[in-house]
Amino acid sequence: EMQGFFGSLRGNPNSRGEGTVIKNLIIDKSCSITGGMRTAALVGAGQNNEREINIINCVNEATVTSPSKNVAGFVGGSHSNHPIWKITNCVNVGTIISTASDHESAGIAAWLGDNGSTRVTNCINIGEVLDVDGNSGMDGSGRGVFRHKNSDATAVNCYDFSNMELATQFRDHGFTIDDVLSGKATYSINTVAGEIVYWQTIGVDEYPMPFSTSKKVYMQGELMCDGTPLEGGTYTNDPVEPVRP
């Protein structure tokens, strides 16, 4: 139980009053993670005192496997006295596999508890959530990105680009996997965010990267009045300005 790069985290503040922060970390595809209940590539579980646990600019490419439930890319689960999770600019492309009958698993976070101040912002799931037979490893709600007890947990600018047929959460974006590869999705996510939160070296990066070591994506074409690209535009790393109305 509670297996991950960090088995368990507590939201205790430091001397400056800041909560726990994990930032700028890649768990790449050479890794694999196996554990029991509450297993994730990054954090098995979080607990304590309603303080903040911040996960910022992290990527998981590893496959995560468990014979139990609460399996995910970044957060397996929460204990009682649930912390305030703040998950920002994170991408899961790893496959999540739960062999339990009650899977309750997801790409970003399998269980974030019941703290209404939890917030998931600019996060992307591309990895599939499966059982041992290759069927859905999600619970019956179709929440393939993250699970939370309360509807007042805030999600902003989040996307599920996976191929999971039963997934319903954050699927109303209209993007295809080709749009992810081309840079179109990266450009759109940044537009909605109002700032550059993802970069992508087109032809090299297969998905948006939360690191400026990759290149900024530009759009060559026309924009609508709300800043949304018109169809027919192309995406490039060469500095160009779109045509504005």
Q: What is the pLDDT of residues 31-86, one digit of tens each?
A: 999 999 999 999 999 876 667 899 999 999 999 999 988 999 999 998 766 788 99
Percent of the chain with pLDDT over 90: 55
pLDDT above 80: residue 136: no
Largest separation between any pair of C-alpha atoms in the chain:
55
CA 42 – CA 5 distance, rounded (Å): 5
Q: Which helix or strand (DSSP H or E) is residue 53 part of?
A: strand 52-60
User: According to the model, what pLDDT value does residue 40 have?
Assistant: 96
Q: What is the pLDDT of residues 198-213, one digit of tens each?
A: 999 999 999 999 999 9
User: According to the model, what pLDDT value does residue 69 have?
Assistant: 87
| pLDDT-derived band at 171, boundaries 50, 70, 90 | confident
Average pLDDT estimate for 97-109? 85
Q: Is the dihedral of CA 12, 15, 17, 22 positive or negative?
A: negative
* Residue 167: φ, ψ to 5°: -70, 135
User: According to the model, what pLDDT value does residue 81 have?
Assistant: 60
Average pLDDT estimate for 146-165? 82
Asked whether 12 and 51 are in contact (CB, 8 A), the reply is: yes
| pLDDT-derived band at 150, boundaries 50, 70, 90 | low
> With b meaning 16 or more CB within 10 Å and e meaning fewer, what string describes 184-220?
bbbbbbbbeeeeebbbbebeebebbbbeeebbbbbbe
Strands 63-66 and 32-34: parallel
